[in-house]
Amino acid sequence: MTGATRGIGHAIAVRFAREGCNVAFCGRSRNAAMEAVEQELNGILSALHSPLATPKAKGYACDVADYDSAQAFVKEVMADFGGIDILVNNAGITDDAAVKRMTEAQMDRVMHTNLGSVFCMTKAVQPVMWRQGHGSIVNIGSVVGIAGNYNQANYAASKAAIIGFSKSCAKEFAARNIRVNVVAPGFVETEMTADIPKELMDTWCSRIPMKRPGKADEVAQACLFLASDMCPYITSVVLPICGGMEDA
Ligand code: NAP
């Protein structure tokens, strides 16, 4: 999976490890945060499995928006783990501005990271899943990719594009038993949202029928469901996790 050093990605990695899945994850660099997550996941896995089994979690430094790095990442994962059953494309960034003030660089950077990473990782993992004859890809979109948002035209466009890309892959890969779905979180409390002023947070929450932001683990549970054998006939769906926000 991509981007598990913090936030929603971290919650997804923990949730999958608790279910006994080996987890290969990445962030842009190998740092203390990555090492801490690696240790945490290996702790969870060793508590679950018999001492004879060799479950594992491993972090890799990889900029997943770079085609060659994504190819190298998947090659290393194959050498270490021998197969890939699930791909969760979670890595993503924001760089907000009103369209009036948004620069071309801001537009390019967000599209390149958010959509580019999904393309690069899908290209790298698809041949593996194709050979295996099974696989599940879960792409993290956003309700903003369905409804749009003020000051986030670049981000909303990248997340809308992920939906179109995922639905096309779902059609192309279905015959090989590879499912592709999108989880679209609403407003989830993570570092990405930490800088939002409290008044704005309260206004947003007042518009959510459930009157609170989502939790990272609530997104993780949806990813686990879509990735798992609990839904072998579900592909090409966009599942909003947003407390009932009207325009999602
Ligand atoms: P976050 O806290 O900022 O975490 C982003 C993760 O992505 C980090 O682990 C980061 O790792 C990794 N990452 C970013 N660019 C990368 C790259 N080029 N290559 C490899 N890893 C990269 O974000 P979050 O709030 O958890 O969001 C996770 C996903 O959910 C994103 O796709 C976001 O768009 C989506 N989402 C979030 C919300 C929300 O309210 N938080 C709502 C809807 C959708 P390093 O920094 O270590 O590289």
Which one of 60, 150, 155, 233 is the catalytic residue?
155
When mean pLDDT is compared across 32-41, 93-102, 186-195, the lowest value belongs to: 186-195
**pLDDT greater than 90 at residue 4:** yes
Asked if residues 136 and 86 have their Cβ atoms less than 8 Å apart, the reply is yes
Residues whose CB falls within 8 Å of the CB of residue 201, separated by 6 or more in sequence, listed in order: 193, 213
Residue whose Cα lies nearest atom 25 of ligand 1: it is 192
Q: Using pLDDT thresholds of 50, 70 and 90, give the confidence band for residue 242.
A: very high
Residue 55, pLDDT score: 64
Euclidean distance between CA atoms 41 and 132, whole angstroms = 26
Closest CA to 88 of 180, 7, 19, 153: 180
Residue 194, pLDDT score: 81
Domain locations in the chain as residue ranges: 7-241
**CATH architecture for the domain at 7-241:** 3-Layer(aba) Sandwich (3.40)
For the record, the structure tokens of 161 come out as 């594009």
Work out the number of other CB atoms within 10 angstroms of the CB of residue 49: 14
Residue 201, pLDDT score: 85
Asked if residues 57 and 13 have their Cβ atoms less than 8 Å apart, the reply is yes
Q: Is the dihedral of CA 52, 230, 169, 3 positive or negative?
A: negative
Q: Using pLDDT thresholds of 50, 70 and 90, give the confidence band for residue 244.
A: very high
Mean pLDDT of 23-49: 95
Residue 196, pLDDT score: 82
Note the pLDDT tens digit of each residue in 201-225: 888 899 999 999 999 999 999 999 9
If one residue of 190, 195, 201, 223 were mutated to test the ligand 1 pocket, choosing by the most ligand atoms within 8 A of its CB, it would be 190
Task: Mark whether 60 is an active-site residue.
Answer: no
